[in-house]
Amino acid sequence: MLISSGVGERLREERERLGKNQTDFGVAAGVSRGTQKAYELESSSPDLRYLSGLQELGVDVHFVLTGSRADANLNNLSEVEAAVLGSMRQMSEPDRNVLLRTASAFASAAGLEGSKPPN
């Protein structure tokens, strides 16, 4: 095995967090269901292309590989915040910028500090 023990379990955890089955998750990351299953069972090691594809899906690849979250502040997200973040990670860059400007406008209208929309 080329990667550490526990990667398969964490990979499954991230897949389930995103609400995907093995087939859909694997295909979205560029592999078959069988390959996805092998990764989760740790009978095969994922390659960089696959891991890069996971990142595009909103998977915390740092967590999958190391067992610790890339941003400790994300550990305390509510269910709603995690769902919004997961959806946002799947959007194109222009759509994410629109969402950010919209959220900033709502926060500004509510009188919250630090809510200036980005340029």
* Higher-pLDDT residue of 116, 97: 97
- Domain residues of the chain, as ranges? 7-72, 77-109
Average pLDDT, the chain: 85
Helix (H) / strand (E) containing 15: helix 7-17
- Paired tokens of 46: 């994922």
57: which residues sit within 8 A by CB, 6+ positions away?
Answer: 18, 25, 28, 29, 89, 90
Query: Per-residue pLDDT tens for 25-78?
Result: 999 999 999 999 999 999 999 999 999 999 888 898 989 998 887 665 566 778
Q: What percent of the chain has pLDDT over 90?
A: 41
Does the 7-72 domain belong in CATH 1.10.260.40? yes
For residue 108, pLDDT over 90 is answered with no
pLDDT at residue 14, rounded to an integer: 92
Does residue 23 surpass a pLDDT of 60? yes
